[in-house]
Structure 1
Amino acid sequence: MLYARTSPAEKRLLFREQLRSGELLRFPGAFNPLSAKLIERKGFDGVYISGAVLSADLGLPDIGLTTLTEVAGRGQQIARATELPAIIDADTGFGEPMNVARTIQTLEDAGLGGTHIEDQINPKRCGHLDGKAVVDTDTAIKRIRAAVDARRDPNFLIMARTDIRAVDGLPSAIDRAKVLVDAGADAIFPEAMASLEEFAAMRAAVDVPILANMTEFGKSELFSVDQLRDVGINIVIWPVSLLRMAMGAADRALDTLLVEGHLTSRLGEMQHRAELYDLIDYASYNHFDASVFNFHLEH
């Protein structure tokens, strides 16, 4: 009912314990609070909140147009809807190192479990597109150091994302990852790895958790959970998958409306009203008023 009973501090502590276990943690991307509830119900380990999804939700491309206020606000809405920890994409930190510091404290206050800061230049672009450019090593280090210095809860996870693999190759990505760990990064997000062997090489190079991005239609093959576990990956995300599935279904439904004039043929594909009410725990709101849930729904 209402929001999560687990406090943000407790979520972060439990998340850190999960990471120390060495088990691969599965973080599907939530595109709204309701999808976060579904991710929790299905038994996943956490929720990922993608910058690309937040941009798309506003009808914008993923090129750094969203603001810290927009990202933190949506992140809070999603994070508080679930007992699971939530990792949010903070792009390049929304500015210079002082802005990165403010970003970290704002995301802490919003109840997130952690975030990642990347080393692209502004305006940035999706990590699986061509034509990316990255900042120099000194600038990348300053972003991570500012994030670590600003953090108040030591369990808030600060992850460094590097996009340099697609620009200068794997050896440069490994070198960049090492210096970002030395700068204080708790984990590494090596974007657009080309093979399992590249993930394994990154795993061998650094002694912190590593995240694998299994986004569709990108540079990386869609490896299975078992494959990623076997090479020592600690977190896997599917950042845009649920949004893609939902928008694909919406597109087909609108076509059906145009052709048939109704959606009777699509009823079997829909979440039933009873399933929705169960997911949002409609009945529990009778705690406030017994007339709230005084009806019966047929499945």
Structure 2
Amino acid sequence: MLYATTTAADKRRILRERLAAGELLRFPGAFNPLSARLIEQKGFDGVYISGAVLAADLGLPDIGLTTLTEVAGRGQQMARMTELPAIIDADTGFGEPMNVARTIQTLEDAGIAGAHIEDQVNPKRCGHLDGKAVVDADTAVKRIRAAVDARRDPNFLIMARTDIRAVEGLGAAIDRAQALVDAGADAIFPEAMRTLDEFEAMASAVSVPILANMTEFGKSELFSVDQLRGVGVGIVIWPVSLLRIAMGAAGRALDTLTEEGHLTGRLGEMQHRADLYDLIDYEAYNHFDTSVFNFQITKE
């Protein structure tokens, strides 16, 4: 009922413990607070909050147009609806090192369990598009050091994302990742790895967990959880998958309305009202007012 009972501090601690145990943790991307709760209900390990999804939610491209206020606000709305830890995409930290520091503390206040800061230049672009540019190593290191120095909860996960693989190759990505770990990064997000061998090389080269981004229509092949576990990946995300599926379904429904004038033939594709009410824990609100939930819905 209402919001999660697990505190942000406990979510961070649990995330750290599970990463330290060497588990592979599955973080599907939520596109709103309700989908974050659904991810929990389906038994996943955490919720990922994608910058691309947050931008798309506003009808904007993923090129750094969103603000810290927008990202933290929406992130808080998602994180508080689930007992799971949430990791959020903080882009380049919204500015220079001092801005990065403020970003981390703002995300801590929003109840987020961890964030990743990337080494792209501004304006950034989606990590699986051509034509990316990255900052020099010194600038990338300063961003991570600022993030580490700013956090107040030592369990808040500072993840460094590097996009240099697509610009200078795997060797440069490994060198950049090692420098970011030396700067204090708790985990590494090597963007746009192309093969399992590349993930394995990265995992072997650094002393912290690495994240695999299994985004559709991108540079990486869509490997399975078992394949990624086998090469030492610690976290796997599907950042935009649920949004893509939901928007695809919405588009088909609108086409059906245009063609047929009703959606009777698509009822089986919809979340049933009973399932929705179960997900939002409608009945529990009777604790405050017994007139709230005084009905039964059957699935026939």
- Look up the match of 2:75: 75
Residues in 2 aligned to 1:224 and 1:6: alpha-carbon distance in whole angstroms: 30
1:204 paired to 2:204: yes
1:195 partner amino acid = T
1:40 paired to 2:40: yes
1:121-270 pair list within 5 angstroms? 121-270=121-270
Root-mean-square deviation (Å): 0.3
- 1:144-202 C-alpha deviation (Å, 9 max, x unpaired): 00000000000000000000000000000000000000000000000000100000100
Q: Per-residue deviation at 1:296?
A: 1.1
Q: SS in structure 2 opposite 1:26?
A: strand
Which segments of 5 or more consecutive residues in structure 1 lack a partner in the other structure? Answer: none
Residues in 1 aligned to 2:23 and 2:136: alpha-carbon distance in whole angstroms: 33
Residues in 2 aligned to 1:204 and 1:113: alpha-carbon distance in whole angstroms: 25
1:80-91 pair list within 5 angstroms? 80-91=80-91
- 1:112-165 C-alpha deviation (Å, 9 max, x unpaired): 000000000000000000000000000000000000000000000000000000
Q: Which 4+ runs in 1 deviate beyond 6 A?
A: none
Q: Per-residue deviation at 1:229?
A: 0.2
1:117 paired to 2:117: yes
1:255 partner amino acid = D
Percent identity, please: 84
Residues in 1 aligned to 2:16 and 2:201: alpha-carbon distance in whole angstroms: 24
- Look up the match of 2:28: 28
Residues in 1 aligned to 2:231 and 2:188: alpha-carbon distance in whole angstroms: 15
Residues in 2 aligned to 1:58 and 1:222: alpha-carbon distance in whole angstroms: 27
2:46 partner amino acid = G
Q: Per-residue deviation at 1:14?
A: 0.6
Residues in 2 aligned to 1:13 and 1:194: alpha-carbon distance in whole angstroms: 32
Residues in 2 aligned to 1:173 and 1:15: alpha-carbon distance in whole angstroms: 25
Q: Per-residue deviation at 1:203?
A: 0.8
2:45 partner amino acid = D
Residues in 2 aligned to 1:145 and 1:91: alpha-carbon distance in whole angstroms: 16
Q: SS in structure 2 opposite 1:95?
A: coil
Q: SS in structure 2 opposite 1:161?
A: strand
Residues in 2 aligned to 1:204 and 1:6: alpha-carbon distance in whole angstroms: 34
Q: How many residues align?
A: 299
2:18 partner amino acid = Q
2:146 partner amino acid = A
TM-score, with length taken from structure 1: 1.00
- Look up the match of 2:282: 282
Q: Per-residue deviation at 1:106?
A: 0.1
- 1:56-100 C-alpha deviation (Å, 9 max, x unpaired): 000000000000000000000000000000000000000000000
Residues in 2 aligned to 1:89 and 1:149: alpha-carbon distance in whole angstroms: 19
1:87-106 pair list within 5 angstroms? 87-106=87-106
Residues in 1 aligned to 2:218 and 2:192: alpha-carbon distance in whole angstroms: 8
